[in-house]
Amino acid sequence: MLRQNLLISSYFLLSLALIAGCSSTVSPPTATRVFTLSAGSVDFGNTRMGICADSTLGATRDTILALHNTGNDTLRIDSVTSPSAAFSVLYSSSKVASGDTGSIHIRFCPTFLGAASSSVTMTDNATSGGTTIIAVMGTGIRYMPYAGSYFTYDQQGLDSAMKPIGNPTPTTINIIVSGLTYQGKTNVELTSDSTYFKIEDNGDVSIWSVGYPTYPATVRVDSGWLTLPFQTQGQNLLLLTGDHTFLDSAGESITMQVRDSASYLGTSTLTVGTRQFQVMEVRLTQLAVYSSSKGAIGRMGIFDGFFAPEIGFIVQQGKFGGSEVIVGKKIVQKQGSGEFRKLKNFSLK
């Protein structure tokens, strides 16, 4: 009887222990919402003015930040905002599940030339606090066409009287390299006709001149940048001057005088397809006079360019080159020719 009571008591105690164990609760893991951003700041670099307002001017300067949730709970993004009109948030994920990746899409549209900086603020339910600051910066620059842009013109020859010859034929100029550092300048463009040019911060346009031949012809002098006053509107600007003496193939002493000048001629409106552009006209005059005891040869080139700042390129141009051979005080030979181009269509990158 005693043995039976002991067994019953042991069974009763074991049952109580089991019941107690079953009634205890296990605490769930602490919810964490922790994330990493692909970048804590964004530098958009040089960004062209106007590209956000006109899709034909090329691609906008955007960046997409990846946001990865490494916590064990869903991350909620309440807002992503910027106080600056230049930096806009186009999109942001609203929720990012544990282990997933969301995104924040930011665009830079410069509102002025020069450096700009601001911040993008993200509010969320992250465990660490709930506010994240992303520094953003960039530099607004004058619009310029990038590599891959092309411009197709109707081109027509001009005779010595500057009258049209034949029918217009299409010719295309491509931007083959952009962002070059060349001859002391940065952000230089190179075209398919071997022209190096730069749109200056003040809106003028500089082109690289290869200079003038002496003897042998491979030896050139007075090469350099010629800045055309499309924006500053200068008149009768002497861009380059040089005086040189050399011997020709017969040993004759040749004196060469070089004078390059430019003048702003005015503003007008030109139509390309269905679009109208306000253009600025500048005339570049290049003069070289070679003199010897036998006489002189004068060579002159005239370039009239109509520049459209909106697309950063020449919309219309006329070029004419001529020479005169003078013996004593008499002109014994005079000749010249040129070409006229008008933009027909274009594509910008």
Give the whole-angstrom CA distance, residue 207 versus residue 150. Answer: 18
pLDDT score for 26:
61
Question: Three-state secondary structure along the chain?
Answer: CHHHHHHHHHHHHHHHHHHHHHHCCCCCCCCCCCEEECCCEEEEEEEECCCCCCHHHCCCEEEEEEEEECCCCCEEEEEEECCCCCEEEEEECCEECCCCEEEEEEEECCCCCEEEEEEEEEEECCCCCCEEEEEEEEEEECCCCCCCCEEEEEEEEECCCCCEEEEEEEEEEEEEEEEEEECCEEEEEEECCCCEEEECCCCCEEEEECCEECCCCCCEECCEEEEECCCCCCCCEEEEEEEEEEECCCCCEEEEEEEEEEEEEEEEEEEECCEEEEEEEEEEEEEEEEEECCEEEEEEEEEEEEEECCCCEEEEEEEEEEEEEEECCEEEEEEEEEEEEEEEEEECC
Positive or negative CA dihedral for 249, 250, 256, 260? Answer: negative
Residue type, 48: R
**Which pLDDT belongs to residue 294?**
85
Angle at 288 between CA 287 and CA 293, to 5 degrees: 140
Nearest Cα residue to 135 out of 63, 66, 64, 42 = 42
Per-residue pLDDT of the chain (349 residues; tens, 9 = 90+): 434 443 444 444 444 344 445 445 666 778 889 999 999 999 999 999 999 999 889 989 999 999 999 999 999 999 999 999 999 999 999 999 999 999 999 999 999 999 999 999 999 999 988 899 999 999 999 999 999 999 999 999 999 888 999 999 999 999 999 999 999 999 999 999 999 999 999 999 999 999 998 888 888 899 999 999 999 999 999 999 999 999 999 899 999 999 999 999 999 999 998 999 999 999 999 999 999 988 898 899 999 999 999 999 999 999 999 887 766 656 556 788 999 999 999 999 9
- In this prediction, residue 144 carries a pLDDT of 94
Give the residue extent of every domain in the chain: 35-141, 150-347
CATH number for 35-141 (one of 3.40.190.10, 3.40.50.10360, 1.10.420.10, 2.60.40.10): it is 2.60.40.10
| Closest CA relative to residue 292, chosen from 250, 323, 262, 259 | 250
Q: pLDDT tens, 44-61?
A: 999 999 999 998 899 899
Quote the pLDDT of residue 328: 63
pTM: 0.80
